[in-house]
Structure 1
Amino acid sequence: MTQERASVATFKGNPITLVGPELKVGDTAPDFKISKNLLEEASLQDYAGKIKLISVVPSLDTGVCDAQTRRFNQEAATLGDDVIVLTISVDLPFAQSRWCGAAGIDQVITLSDYKDNSFGKAYGVFIKEFALDHRAVFVLDKENTIRYVEVLKEMGEHPNYDAPIDAVKQLLS
């Protein structure tokens, strides 16, 4: 039975239901299967030994998601080889690739949760009403322990950009 958390977030002020657990700092990050492209999948293990900043957006083709991805792409360039920045959405891999090319995104790895929403349901950010992943940011250490979590209360708001970057920098020191 998949856990549903009603009214923990909103879209334009209207309550939405998030599917999956509420993850907290200190939890072990759950694994997932997600699409790199139409033929290749990725999982958490593909990024073993790295600090992971995971930026979750509903769709790259919206204003806040665009800004969020551009900001973390900019930050990724300064974080070094021990850090991987992933942006996850349910956009098709073709659309992600097109958007990244047009936006000049070259530091962030985009991954698609379109097939079975494995990531969204494992991380508690799958929106039941829209079949999208809700805006969130996670930082995982090299052992996949969650060190930072922000699940936005309102889908259309920007995340706190500085706090996850600070969490990553603390793990680097």
Structure 2
Amino acid sequence: MANTKLKGHPVQLGGTELNLGDLAPKIALVAKDLSEKSVGGASGKYQIINVVPSLDTGVCATQTRKFNEKAAALPEVEVFVVSMDLPFAQGRFCATEGIENLTVLSDFRSKSFAQSYGMLLADGPLAGVTARAVFVVDPAGKIIYKELVPEITEEPNYELALGAIG
């Protein structure tokens, strides 16, 4: 199972580890209006799935803002941000930050995304939330890019993630 670090201290991940070439499980999450929205699976479009511990931290907010900016120029690409934040907090964040080019989704109800994608922090001070990662899923539902950020307090490599889209 893959690992990451929080401020230099190793943190274990729980769930099923996914790798390049695996089919991305289709998981229903909660949108900011409390409706259900699915990520993963075959959707006919590319999907960029940003996984963050909480939008209420500087690095997570920056990651979301940067993908929001870059998403505006991507036709036929759905961009998601998945966290354990409550949908109400996600909605306030998007309103305050002007986030309109991506969809924020919460895994707070069942942690099914975190478990199915191997992104649940199993120990450490943030146990129970998600690690920081980026998955790119092709239109057929196959994972074509994965970055588990080695240090949770650092940003992902935006260029590599966006470059994975043909």
- Alignment TM-score, normalising by the size of structure 2: 0.92
Secondary structure of the equivalent of 2:55? Answer: coil
Are residue 40 (structure 1) and residue 40 (structure 2) matched?
Answer: no
Structure 2 alignment gaps of length 5 or more: none
Contact 1:52/1:140 (CA < 8 Å) preserved in 2?
yes
Length, aligned pairs only: 163
Take 1:53 and 1:16, find their aligned partners in 2: how far apart are those partners? Answer: 24
Take 1:36 and 1:51, find their aligned partners in 2: how far apart are those partners? Answer: 19
Aligned CA distance change for structure 1 residues 153 and 46 (closer, same or farther; 3 Å): closer
Take 2:40 and 2:117, find their aligned partners in 1: how far apart are those partners? Answer: 15
How is 1:47-126 mapped onto 2 (pairs within 5 angstroms)?
A: 48-80=43-75, 82-126=76-120
Percent identical among aligned pairs is 44
Contact 1:47/1:84 (CA < 8 Å) preserved in 2?
no
Contact 2:40/2:137 (CA < 8 Å) preserved in 1?
no
Structure 1 residue 32: Cα displacement: 1.4
Contact 1:27/1:145 (CA < 8 Å) preserved in 2?
yes
- Alignment TM-score, normalising by the size of structure 1: 0.89
Are residue 151 (structure 1) and residue 162 (structure 2) matched?
Answer: no
Take 1:97 and 1:39, find their aligned partners in 2: how far apart are those partners? Answer: 10
Aligned CA distance change for structure 1 residues 61 and 47 (closer, same or farther; 3 Å): farther
RMSD across aligned C-alpha pairs, in angstroms? 1.6
Structure 1 residue 22: Cα displacement: 2.1
Take 1:13 and 1:44, find their aligned partners in 2: how far apart are those partners? Answer: 31
Are residue 164 (structure 1) and residue 165 (structure 2) matched?
Answer: no
Q: Which has the higher helix share?
A: 1
Structure 1 alignment gaps of length 5 or more: none
Aligned CA distance change for structure 1 residues 118 and 105 (closer, same or farther; 3 Å): same
